[in-house]
Structure 1
Amino acid sequence: MRVLKKRLCIIGSGVSGLHLAYALKEDFDITVIERQLPDQIRKGRIMSTQVHFGSTRTRETRFNVPEWGEQTLIESIHITIGNQKLFVGQLQEPALSVDQRLYYSHSIEDLIDKGVSFRFEKVDKESVEVLIDEFDLVIDCTGKNGTLLPFPIEEDLSPFQTPQRKCIVGYFIGIKANTPLGVSVTVLPELGEMFEIPAITEHGPVTILFIMAIPDSDLDVFKGIKNAEEFTLKVRRTVQQFFPEIYNRIEGENFALCDENSFLQTALTPVIRKPYLMIKNKLVVGCGDSVFLNDPITGQGCNLSSYCAEQLYETLTEYKNSKWDMKTGEAYWNRTKQFVKEVTEWTNAMTKPLPEHVVQLLLQGTQDQVKANEIAEWFANPTKAYEAFFSTK
């Protein structure tokens, strides 16, 4: 007798939703609900920044997520404090940044080609109840806009009531790449940070400038800017004033956004939730930013989402022939909890002035390439960062 596959509904097609769809599609009957068509995503506004570090790229290979060209592999992390360049640390495995508009739209079309069902519609808190009745499991992957379901907040990992940074992002052409090609991290004490990220877009290679301004600081100067031209001018002036090393690589008149939708301003309040609960005597779970929302300061969003998608895949596969209930939800949370805690506590610490022992580690990196490489690896392996910040050894 043919056993019917369990029916899963994934709400949202960001990193966690897409990676789950790729991972689960052989064992389960998957329906993904996304509010935008692939072409709307492709032509829409940028949603974020992203760096897929080595562990995420390994998972993408494992689950046959589409591959991207190797032309802009990120091999290093450049660290600057104030106007002093400290060092360039080499990553053990290269990272990659692909514009989410391209990554998401292409992946959705690929999954449809592979037989995964998609519904293009908006889900709200009322319609999600109907989905819980319809499917064996609903997975909330709605992302940073907030969860559809009342997953309980983990208070000890959610200390903030307001955003810790104003996030200003633009995808630019006309900036000479740093060498070796890598992510540049500049920390300006009491003002904020800048991440410079080489990325792939539909238009070819770009440089992402990602300013994280402490609210009401001298770097928080983008309020009220609405159009691409104003935004570009303000970024140029801000980079000239605060980030002279990057400004020196701007190629005059060529400096421009790669398209009129390639800029963004946002601010989010980090919050961590327990990623499961029972509704109508059925298990529902959350994955990615909808339940594990960190400040973007450590660049861990897509890596944590991908990690949690893999852990949820492992849990659901393990419990494939059981009734999915609180025990299944607890197993998923137990698989993810320690890593979520490490990423979150490191990220929360990075929003505050750096502890003295961390400053000393950074200074050691200026004299010792092995130490510099270890610090670069914090971003690829946040467990190492957590140990560096909080270990009592």
Structure 2
Amino acid sequence: MRKILVVGAGQSGLQIALGLQAQGYEVTLMSNRTADEIRTGRVMSTQCMFHTALQHERDLQLNFWESQAPKIEGLGVSVAAPGSWAEGPAARAIDWLGRLDGYAQSVDQRVKMAGWMETFAQRGGQLVIHGAAVGDLDYFSRTYDLVLVAAGKGELVQMFARDPERSPYSEPQRALAVSYVHGLGPRPEHPDTEGVRCNLVPGVGELFVMPCLTTSGRADILFWEGIPGGPLDVFNGVKDPAEHLSLTLELMERYVPWEYARATKVELTDAGGTLAGRYAPTVRNPVGRLPGGGLVLGVADVVVANDPITGQGSNSASKCAAAYLSSIVERGDKPFDEEWMRATFDRYWATAQHVTKWTNAMLAPPPEHILNLIGAAGELQPVADRFANGFNDPADFENFFYDPEKAQAYLVEVSGAGAA
């Protein structure tokens, strides 16, 4: 029986640990917090998981909350008319809803990670509550066949060198501010459709609104992504959750009044329902070398950390876990050497590269052909649907999104089909 250590109890670490456990591996999971501390702590993220990522959970029979979480069937995009907020509340220039082929869901990570950790322990896994340092891993690397580092923050990440060719940004591109709320009303245009709403405010930032399941039941997430130094970059140092929500709503009233109109009665889900921060999107070398010569393999956002503007974090973590799980099982009893580690990462990068390319493109001011595509989606439902389903499979953007000629050819083809 091969012994594997997983450091970090997030989406990817837990999914791998539970998957390996089901295959008969001897798995140790290290977490710096207990399940109860996670459940009663502060929100850790936004997370909207699309069909493929959800299917990886179903394949491992870990979809414990599927019947309770809202089923997100659409993805909407609204664009504020540039400069329309100068004299008062902004006006919408574009507004549409694309339909997802398979529904998406969002489960608060406090609910999911706590539940999965308890399941891992109940099934006989060794759960160690201890923050790991590099020195600890030096020791463990001699007693385990494989050490996976899935803790995306802290000193362990520094073991993995930044890959400059795959990391065009060295500074954070957005200031992030999250509020989990109860009491948000429906969008009047589509009152019966649960949807993720992407509101783009040119030159200012973005507001995402998504239904989710949290510790107190159904809720919604209000998530601002502000261009650093701009009018949305005001959450740094705000410690009081009520002040955080008040700021969120003030900004909504000015920049996305159509969303504010349904948020006038919201209240925070709990005292831990806010989060603010920023980080630079970074791709890292997947193999970490320990002082004693041992090797560890980085997982998910340890090695590929994208800005959350495209909602891919938990999706990528799930896809990374699925790829790594397959590679470990297929390896049998052969050594988990550096060559295998790099090949395992490359298997994940085959999908992750599309996420990184798309996310970095969305962080930059959009070129004219992308504005045309987003505008055309308001007139042509197939374009809206295809854009929405790109959140599940970002590789499809290669076919119609980046290249102006491909975008134009696609719009001509769809327009012709509509006319016919």
For Structure 1 versus Structure 2, the TM-score category normalised by the shorter chain is over 0.9
1:48 pairs with 2:45: yes
1:30 pairs with 2:27: yes
Give the equivalent residue in structure 2 for 1:97.
Answer: 106
Q: 1:328 Cα shift?
A: 1.0
**Range moving further from structure 2, 150-159 or 291-300:** 150-159
Deviations 1:59-100 (A, max 9, x none): 001112142124511110010111234210001110000111
Give me the whole-angstrom Cα distance separating, in 1, the residues matched to 2:214 and 2:224.
Answer: 19
What SS does structure 1 have at the residue aligned with 2:350?
helix
What SS does structure 2 have at the residue aligned with 1:211?
strand
Read off the aligned partner of 2:225 and give its amino acid letter.
Answer: M
TM-score, length basis structure 1: 0.95
Give the equivalent residue in structure 1 for 2:174.
Answer: 165
Give the equivalent residue in structure 1 for 2:327.
Answer: 315
**Range moving further from structure 2, 21-30 or 52-61:** 21-30
Give me the whole-angstrom Cα distance separating, in 2, the residues matched to 1:266 and 1:296.
Answer: 12
Q: 1:386 Cα shift?
A: 4.0
Give me the whole-angstrom Cα distance separating, in 2, the residues matched to 1:71 and 1:6.
Answer: 36
Q: 1:385 Cα shift?
A: 2.6
CA distance 1:188–1:277, change in 2 (3 Å): same
Give the equivalent residue in structure 2 for 1:210.
Answer: 223
Give me the whole-angstrom Cα distance separating, in 2, the residues matched to 1:71 and 1:40.
Answer: 22
Deviations 1:87-142 (A, max 9, x none): 10001110000111111001111111111110001111222211212211110000
1:275 pairs with 2:271: no
**Range moving further from structure 2, 100-109 or 225-234:** 225-234
Give me the whole-angstrom Cα distance separating, in 1, the residues matched to 2:64 and 2:118.
Answer: 14
Give me the whole-angstrom Cα distance separating, in 1, the residues matched to 2:240 and 2:306.
Answer: 28
Q: 1:330 Cα shift?
A: 2.4
- Equivalent of 2:196 in 183, 187, 193: 183
Give the equivalent residue in structure 1 for 2:64.
Answer: 67
Read off the aligned partner of 2:329 and give its amino acid letter.
Answer: T
CA distance 1:239–1:124, change in 2 (3 Å): same
Deviations 1:289-334 (A, max 9, x none): 1111111111100111111111111111111221111221122022
Q: 1:182 Cα shift?
A: 0.6
**Range moving further from structure 2, 265-274 or 124-133:** 124-133
Contact 2:301 2:317 in 1 (8 A): yes
**Range moving further from structure 2, 80-89 or 161-170:** 80-89
CA distance 1:118–1:41, change in 2 (3 Å): same
Report the identity percentage. Answer: 30
Contact 1:177 1:207 in 2 (8 A): no
Deviations 1:9-66 (A, max 9, x none): 0000100101101211123110000010100000001111001110011000111214
Give me the whole-angstrom Cα distance separating, in 2, the residues matched to 1:42 and 1:84.
Answer: 41
Q: 1:177 Cα shift?
A: 2.9
Give the equivalent residue in structure 2 for 1:14.
Answer: 10
Give the equivalent residue in structure 1 for 2:55.
Answer: 58
Give the equivalent residue in structure 2 for 1:360.
Answer: 372
1:333 pairs with 2:345: yes
Give me the whole-angstrom Cα distance separating, in 2, the residues matched to 1:281 and 1:27.
Answer: 28
- Equivalent of 2:78 in 71, 77, 80: 80
What SS does structure 2 have at the residue aligned with 1:168?
strand
Give me the whole-angstrom Cα distance separating, in 1, the residues matched to 2:239 and 2:97.
Answer: 35
Q: Which runs of 5+ in 1 are unaligned?
A: none
1:260 pairs with 2:271: yes
Give me the whole-angstrom Cα distance separating, in 2, the residues matched to 1:382 and 1:85.
Answer: 22
Give me the whole-angstrom Cα distance separating, in 1, the residues matched to 2:381 and 2:154.
Answer: 40
Superposed CA RMSD in Å reads 1.6
Give the equivalent residue in structure 2 for 1:390.
Answer: 402
Contact 1:283 1:324 in 2 (8 A): no
Give me the whole-angstrom Cα distance separating, in 1, the residues matched to 2:75 and 2:375.
Answer: 15
Give the equivalent residue in structure 2 for 1:294.
Answer: 306
Give me the whole-angstrom Cα distance separating, in 1, the residues matched to 2:294 and 2:158.
Answer: 13
Give the equivalent residue in structure 2 for 1:238.
Answer: 251
Read off the aligned partner of 2:172 and give its amino acid letter.
Answer: P
Q: How many residues align?
A: 387
Q: 1:250 Cα shift?
A: 1.9
CA distance 1:278–1:9, change in 2 (3 Å): same
Contact 2:323 2:344 in 1 (8 A): yes
Give me the whole-angstrom Cα distance separating, in 1, the residues matched to 2:233 and 2:289.
Answer: 42
TM-score, length basis structure 2: 0.89
